[in-house]
Amino acid sequence: MYGGGFIPDDIDKKVPVDQEDPVRLEEFQARIDAGEKIEPHDWMPHEYRRQLIRLIEQHAHSEIIGALPEGTWITRAPGFRRKLSLLAKVQDEVGHAQLLYNAAETLGKPREAMINDLLSGKSKYSNVFNYPAKTWADTAVIAWLIDAAAIVNQTTNAKGSYGPYCRALDRICQEESFHLFYGYESVVTLATGTEQQRAMVQEALTRWWKPIMHFHGPPDTSSVHGNQLERWKVKMASNDAMRQTFLNMYVPKIWELGLTVPDPDLKKNEETGQWEFGDPDWDEFWEVIKGNGPCNHERLQVRRKAEEDGRWVREALMARSGKQVLPLS
């Protein structure tokens, strides 16, 4: 026996939780309630496995596609300092995809299958990366605020129940803090620079505000499904709660720079402590999810091209490679 682990016959097949062995299910829940982490070879309900694969895989796709908006400016970054930083940052996104695909693979889905589901459009990734980076200032706003929003999400999920995902997220969060500081410094440089630079960064912020408000997902509606994932510590916080955390931390910093966001209704209700905001156009959110955003098509075509162009390299060495088994952890 080696660490090949359990490979379910059909990962996509739905097995309702009530069809699981009730004793094992109870033990499983007790472990999670006690704060224990679940490891790849542990027993787990089919639905836990399926939902985790979906979650981690989408996260991995978001990283690999997330390299593209900022990559738009990789050959044009102004000066050595920015050129090196942007390269390192985009490199990290690719590296994060590697770590996350690895975490998802431990659950039984091979990396080829995940990439195929990305290329075919079957599997989703974060909407925010389907928007274009029109100017250099867009890369600054992305590196600061999209990464900030992602950190809120990732530090929350790092407290979840699945060991390999938590470990990947711990490493990712460490690297993201560099992105955040790099992005903040880039935005501050532009915002405190010339009129022209200020205008560039303001326009970029205006462009990106809607996708930023969409980042943590639509407003929560309580559902049985949601509760189950929360009990299993797959979902660690509500979309609204994460959005509030983000607004609390970053709106004051945006305002401090004299920048504005395109939402006249955005304000903190001092009584409730909650941020109130205008409708960030959830119709658009759903349209982009359906594949109708400004860059959905381009992003996927770029990935298809990269995979196709690299195929001869991979195929040339397949005979050398031994048979795949699941990664250990």
Partner 1 sequence: MATIKSLDPRVARAELPTEPTEVVLNPEEQWETYEVFHQKKSGARHIHQGTVHAPSSELAYTFAKEQYGRRDQTYSIWVVKTSQVFTVENDNSLYKTVPEKQYRNAGFYKVRDKIEKFKRQMNEH
Partner 2 sequence: MNTSALENYILKTADDLLVLGHRHSEWTAFGPVIEEDIAFCSMAQDKVGQAQALYNVLHTTFGYDHPDTLAFLREEGKYTCAQLVELPNGGYDTSLMRHFLFDHAERVRLASLVSCPFEPLANLAKKFKGEVEYHVLHANTWIDQLGNGTEVSKARMQTALDELAPYALGLFEAIEGEQELVEQGVVVSEQDLQAQWQAAIDPILEKAGLAAPDWSSITPVVGGRKGYHSEYLAPLVKEMSEVLVIDTEVEW
Contacting partner 1 (CB under 8 A), which of 115, 150, 201, 234?
Answer: 115
**Residue 200 touching partner 1 (CB under 8 A):** no
User: What are the phi and psi torsion angles at 162 (to 5°)?
Assistant: -95, 115
Minimal CA–CA distance to 161: which of 103, 110, 251, 234? 234
- Of 32-71, which residues contact partner 2 (CB under 8 A)? 64, 67-68, 71
**Residue 167 touching partner 1 (CB under 8 A):** yes
> If contact means CB under 5 to 8 A according to the sort of partner, which of partner 1, partner 2, none does residue 175 touch?
partner 1
CB 46 → partner 1: shortest distance, Å?
A: 17
Which residues, in sequence order, are bridge partners of residue 274?
269
Asked whether the CA dihedral 280, 169, 40, 1 is positive or negative, the reply is positive
**Residue 174 touching partner 2 (CB under 8 A):** no
Which residues, in sequence order, are bridge partners of residue 276?
267
Segment near partner 1 (CB under 8 A); pick from 12-20, 92-100, 144-152, 228-236: 92-100
As a whole number of angstroms, the distance between CA 57 and CA 124 comes to: 9
For residue 162, what is the DSSP state? Answer: B
CB 177 → partner 2: shortest distance, Å?
A: 19
CB 201 → partner 1: shortest distance, Å?
A: 17
For residue 36, what is the DSSP state? Answer: P
**Residue 146 touching partner 2 (CB under 8 A):** no
CB 196 → partner 2: shortest distance, Å?
A: 7
Query: Between 94 and 325, whose beta carbon lies closer to partner 2?
Result: 94
- Contact of 285 with 47, CB cutoff 8 Å: no
**Residue 88 touching partner 2 (CB under 8 A):** yes
Query: Between 256 and 308, whose beta carbon lies closer to partner 1?
Result: 308
Query: Between 203 and 263, whose beta carbon lies closer to partner 1?
Result: 203
**Residue 79 touching partner 2 (CB under 8 A):** yes
Segment near partner 2 (CB under 8 A); pick from 32-40, 203-211, 255-263, 317-325: 317-325
- Of 6-65, which residues contact partner 1 (CB under 8 A)? 39, 41-43
Minimal CA–CA distance to 69: which of 309, 294, 291? 294
User: What are the residues whose beta carbons fall under 8 Å from the beta carbon of 35, sequence distance 6 or more?
Assistant: none
By CB under 8 A, the count of residues binding partner 1 is 59
- Contact of 69 with 131, CB cutoff 8 Å: yes
**What SS3 class is residue 269?**
strand
**Residue 290 touching partner 1 (CB under 8 A):** no
As a whole number of angstroms, the distance between CA 206 and CA 60 comes to: 27
- Contact of 326 with 4, CB cutoff 8 Å: yes
As a whole number of angstroms, the distance between CA 285 and CA 211 comes to: 8
Q: How many CA atoms lie within 13 A of 306 on its CB side?
A: 14
User: What are the residues whose beta carbons fall under 8 Å from the beta carbon of 258, sequence distance 6 or more?
Assistant: 191
Residue 253 tokens, joined: 């910093």
Segment near partner 2 (CB under 8 A); pick from 29-37, 84-92, 122-130, 147-155: 84-92
Q: Which residues bind partner 1 (CB under 8 A)?
A: 1-5, 39, 41-43, 68, 71-76, 95, 98-99, 102, 105, 110-112, 115-116, 119-120, 132-134, 167-168, 171, 175, 297-298, 300-302, 304-305, 307-308, 311, 314-315, 317-318, 320-329
Q: Which residues bind partner 2 (CB under 8 A)?
A: 64, 67-68, 71, 73-80, 82-84, 87-88, 90-91, 93-95, 97-98, 101, 136, 189-190, 193-194, 196-197, 302, 305-306, 309-317, 319-320
